[in-house]
A and B are shown apart, each in its own frame.
Chain A
Amino acid sequence: MVKLNVNGHTHEIDADPETPLLYVLRDDLKLNGAKYGCGLGQCGACTVIVDGEAAFSCVTPILLLEGKKIVTLEGLGTAENPAPIQRAFIEEQAAQCGYCIAGMIMRSQALLQKKPNATEAEIRSELQPHLCRCGTHMRIIKAVKRAAKIMQGKAVNEAAL
């Protein structure tokens, strides 16, 4: 049994402690926000936030995670009441197929929590480990800049994004 704190709730997980977090999230907890992409920490689709930092859940065994706070896409907001970062991604229509977007959102969220005024260069550099095959990168960058404004309660200047 491994005790995991996910999105503010504690779960007793009946799985081998060496199981990657991603499998536990999707198979045991039915949280399907984080996606299986490469399974090797090379694409970013499985990204979640652990103690405030972005982490690849596909290469993180749950035995490392007892006592840590895990946040997944589901922990940010809901379809009815999306979090600022989710709202920004919707407003910019930053997804095409959407497979990479959960990961992009989680890393952007972690970035903006640490650096509310992250520059475009910082956003680009932070999102380097994330692959998007549809090519919506420009919209993703705009969405993160938009989210930064929304989070700080600032007016969004469309022309300046």
Chain B
Amino acid sequence: MKAFAKAAVRLVAAVVVILALSILGFIGFASRSEIPAITPAQRGSFDASLIKLGSELAAVGNCATCHTVPNGKLFAGGRALSTPFGKIYATNITPDPTSGIGRWSEAAFTRALREGVGRTGEQLYPAFPYTHFTLLNDADVHALYAYVMSQEPVARATPSIELSFPYNIRTLIAGWKLLYFKDGRFKPDSAKGEMWNRGAYLAEGLAHCGVCHTPMNALGAERKDKHFDGNSIEGWYAYAINKDPPAPVHWTEDALAFYLSHGWAKDHGLARGPMVEAVENLRSVPGDYAKAIAAYVASGMPEGKTSARIQESAAGKETAAIMKLTSADSLTSIPLEANSDMGEKVYRSACANCHEAGRPLPFGALPLSLSTGLSGPTPQNATNVVLYGLQPRPGERSPIMPPFAAAMNNAQLEALLEYLRTKIAVKQAWPDAAAYIRKARDPATMPALFPSPGIQKAHSAQGSATW
């Protein structure tokens, strides 16, 4: 007995020592050194062309989207990001020496972007997409630094994180990184062209498309096995942009490039939800950013043919003819539920007036047989758009869709969605539309709303042949 007790004590002691050593080792591994503070650089000390490049890169990287509160000072931080684990706030990245990053050297800035470690050595939450920014090359980081450090310093303290235990322990982020983060610059694929590689560098790195378009696991890491497979974010659904996108008309490289730089595409409709911010940023920069991203993303999408029904629709044929084709197509036609009689009436009297008018996009409405909102995996986006419409962009030309939240009750909207889904998209009804509708209406869970994309060239938006 005594020997056994001694052995047990020894075993426990050994386990304790190993555990302690592991914890110490982990802390050692997790702790990163402080990079000394610098005297803030003179705002005028950076080369103008470098600053310009940096401003373009910052737009493509959507930096301001998180690091600026709506109508707030640029890059002064404070925008809350809700995560399943609680709230965190985007930091002040103006060159203010106390509340911003004015005392960060370029080395500290680079380490934050590429390794997710702050100047004093603190681990940064991966809501800051260093998992993507790690791909950035030296020249681009250099330009971003010049641009950020040339902005107006704003004294505005970033609110503290509001995360539950244990997510509030920053050291643990090092463990998360062990599992899900790989430090490393972009490596071009020599088998592909220059444009493709530039697009891959931008889409996977700076533009961090996967943050919205790739599903996440329970710990908020993008699932490598589901790259670009679509994901629900901020109350919207970011569609799959891989080999199985839900768009009725297949995307082409040209259509995608146009969409990314204009906020709409002829056969696909308008950007909405969080994507509006991405396209607003892309349309603000000159050059081939959108084209390169399109070249890369489109290369992963299918090329195959679209159905005859959809081709007719895309060609702008009389919608009546398309509707006839739909109902005559007995192979794909799905029987109406009891609801759909109501749904059809609502569609005819509230939607068709614009959606069947045949006026060209972006100010005319999309024929709904082309709508990805209706052919997508969830009713989330269609629900949001019917309820809240597409709101005008203040001070700019932008398309408007009237909201129907006041006019339609949940049952009416459910009937409408069922009709649109089964008779216009010709797909199986969404089983859970009612739950989506309730969630989209509830102020606690409603989607983030964004004004519709601004349209730069109203003169050519009137159906001229060039579009």
Contact A41 B345 (CB under 8 A): no
Given known pairs A55-B406, A121-B71, the reply for A41 and B401 (CB within 8 Å) is: yes
Contact B353 A50 (CB under 8 A): no
CA distance A42 to B398 in the complex (A): 11
In the complex, whether B408 has a CB less than 8 A from a CB of chain A is yes
CA distance A65 to B354 in the complex (A): 20
Task: Count chain A CB atoms within 10 A of each CB in B350, B354, B394, B405 and give the residue with the most.
Answer: B350
In the complex, whether A18 has a CB less than 8 A from a CB of chain B is yes
Contact A64 B346 (CB under 8 A): yes
Query: What is the size, in residues, of chain B's interface with A at 8 Å between Cβ atoms?
Result: 23
Interface string of A47-68 (1 = CB under 8 A from B): 0011111111001110111001
CA distance A138 to B369 in the complex (A): 42
Task: Count chain A CB atoms within 10 A of each CB in B391, B402, B408, B412 and give the residue with the most.
Answer: B402
Tell me the residues in window 400-429 of chain B with beta carbons closer than 8 Å to chain A beta carbons.
Answer: 400-402, 404-409, 412
B52 neighbours in A (Cβ, 8 Å): none
A63 neighbours in B (Cβ, 8 Å): 345-346, 349
A78 neighbours in B (Cβ, 8 Å): none
CA distance A19 to B345 in the complex (A): 11
Nearest residue (CB) in B for A57 is B407
CB contact between B405 and one of A19, A49, A53 (< 8 Å): that residue: A53
CA distance A63 to B408 in the complex (A): 10
Given known pairs A18-B345, A42-B400, A129-B400, the reply for A64 and B391 (CB within 8 Å) is: no
Question: What distance in Å separates the Cβ of A57 from its nearest Cβ neighbour in chain B?
Answer: 9
Interface string of A124-135 (1 = CB under 8 A from B): 110011000000
Query: What is the size, in residues, of chain A's interface with B at 8 Å between Cβ atoms?
Result: 28
Interface string of A14-44 (1 = CB under 8 A from B): 0001111000000000000000000111100
A53 neighbours in B (Cβ, 8 Å): 405-406
Question: What distance in Å separates the Cβ of B156 from its nearest Cβ neighbour in chain A?
Answer: 19
B349 neighbours in A (Cβ, 8 Å): 17-20, 61, 63
A20 neighbours in B (Cβ, 8 Å): 349
Given known pairs A56-B402, A124-B394, the reply for A64 and B354 (CB within 8 Å) is: no
Contact B354 A40 (CB under 8 A): yes
In the complex, whether B438 has a CB less than 8 A from a CB of chain A is no
In the complex, whether B224 has a CB less than 8 A from a CB of chain A is no
A65 neighbours in B (Cβ, 8 Å): 407
Question: What distance in Å separates the Cβ of B415 from its nearest Cβ neighbour in chain A?
Answer: 10
Given known pairs A59-B353, A63-B349, A125-B394, the reply for A51 and B406 (CB within 8 Å) is: yes
Contact B400 A64 (CB under 8 A): no
In the complex, whether B316 has a CB less than 8 A from a CB of chain A is no
In the complex, whether B348 has a CB less than 8 A from a CB of chain A is yes
Contact B391 A128 (CB under 8 A): yes
B412 neighbours in A (Cβ, 8 Å): 64
CA distance A42 to B362 in the complex (A): 14
Contact B346 A61 (CB under 8 A): yes
CA distance A49 to B354 in the complex (A): 22
In the complex, whether B360 has a CB less than 8 A from a CB of chain A is no
B391 neighbours in A (Cβ, 8 Å): 128-129
Task: Count chain A CB atoms within 10 A of each CB in B71, B404, B406 and give the residue with the most.
Answer: B406
Given known pairs A41-B401, A128-B392, the reply for A50 and B406 (CB within 8 Å) is: yes
CA distance A130 to B320 in the complex (A): 32
Contact B346 A55 (CB under 8 A): no
CA distance A19 to B391 in the complex (A): 25
Given known pairs A42-B400, A56-B402, the reply for A64 and B407 (CB within 8 Å) is: yes
Contact B350 A64 (CB under 8 A): yes
B346 neighbours in A (Cβ, 8 Å): 61, 63-64
Nearest residue (CB) in B for A60 is B407
Question: What distance in Å separates the Cβ of A12 from its nearest Cβ neighbour in chain B?
Answer: 19
CA distance A42 to B405 in the complex (A): 16
A61 neighbours in B (Cβ, 8 Å): 345-346, 349-350
A-B contact sample (11 more), CB < 8 A, given A41-B401, A129-B402: A40-B353, A41-B354, A41-B389, A50-B406, A55-B406, A59-B354, A60-B350, A63-B346, A64-B409, A128-B451, A129-B391
